[in-house]
């Protein structure tokens, strides 16, 4: 299983969670970590390079902090530019077929805020539907997201544990059946 982690955080200097996840993942063998904002600070994406990275991996992980119930902007730009007709979808666009999409998301609000009647009203499952729909259209299997929620009050130990939990999760070959 070749794993590609596409990290989208616009301000890693001030990040607690995603920075720690990124640094821990970089130590992991057989995982390609791709820091999107470092690579494309001006949002000019090298589409061919990105498409080749996708072709070369089996499980595509999008790691990001939840911003306005979605991803930071560069990841949206990446989708708009990289998931082209004829590559990712359309009659001959089958390059991603059979791969997996995994989201690894940190949220400021706690898990209980993300439910019917909670502060954020809607479950995460509903809010990540655009990613799931994208996976569906591109023939990727959308596996259950890895979530770390209520991150503001996390202790250093909890943070470290989450990095280990993320690695174990993303390396699990059986995610599709979870």
Provide the binding-site residues for ligand FMN, judged by CB under 6 A.
Answer: 9, 15-18, 65-69, 106-109, 151
In terms of Cα–Cα distance, which of 116, 172, 117, 118 is closest to 144? 172
What residue spans of 32-128 are helical by DSSP H?
Answer: 36-39, 47-55, 73-82, 124-127
Largest CA distance in the chain: 49
Q: Could you tell me the smallest distance in angstroms from the CB atom of residue 10 to ligand FMN?
A: 8
Report the residue number whose CB is nearest to ligand FMN: 108
Cβ–Cβ under 8 Å, residues 83 and 138: yes
Q: Could you tell me the smallest distance in angstroms from the CB atom of residue 120 to ligand FMN?
A: 7
Q: Could you tell me the smallest distance in angstroms from the CB atom of residue 169 to ligand FMN?
A: 17
Q: Could you tell me the smallest distance in angstroms from the CB atom of residue 106 to ligand FMN?
A: 3
Q: Which is nearer to ligand FMN, 5 or 17 (CB)?
A: 17
Q: Which is nearer to ligand FMN, 98 or 153 (CB)?
A: 153
Cβ–Cβ under 8 Å, residues 150 and 125: no
Q: Could you tell me the smallest distance in angstroms from the CB atom of residue 127 to ligand FMN?
A: 8
Relative orientation angle of helices 73-82 and 47-55, to the nearest 10 degrees: 80
Q: Which is nearer to ligand FMN, 11 or 52 (CB)?
A: 11
Q: Which is nearer to ligand FMN, 17 or 140 (CB)?
A: 17
Q: Which is nearer to ligand FMN, 93 or 110 (CB)?
A: 110
Instruction: Measure CA of the first residue to CA of the last residue in the chain; give whole Å.
Output: 17
Cβ–Cβ under 8 Å, residues 102 and 62: yes
């Amino acid at each position: 299983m070749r794993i590609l982690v596409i990290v989208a955080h616009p301000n890693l200097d001030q990040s607690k969670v995603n920075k720690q996840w990124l640094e821990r993942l970089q130590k992991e063998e057989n995982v390609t970590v791709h820091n999107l904002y470092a690579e494309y600070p001006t949002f000019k994406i090298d589409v061919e390079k990105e498409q080749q990275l996708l072709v070369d991996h089996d499980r595509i992980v999008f790691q990001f902090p939840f911003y306005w119930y979605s991803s930071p902007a560069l990841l949206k730009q990446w989708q708009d530019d990289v998931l082209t007709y004829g590559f990712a979808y359309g009659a001959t666009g089958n390059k991603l077929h059979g791969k997996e999409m995994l989201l690894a998301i940190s949220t400021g609000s706690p898990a209980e805020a993300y439910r019917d009647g909670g502060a954020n009203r809607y479950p995460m499952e509903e809010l990540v539907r655009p990613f799931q729909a994208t996976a569906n259209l591109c023939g990727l299997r959308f596996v259950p997201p890895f979530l770390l929620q209520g991150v503001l009050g996390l202790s250093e130990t909890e943070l470290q544990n989450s990095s280990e939990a993320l690695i174990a999760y993303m390396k699990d070959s059986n995610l599709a059946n979870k």
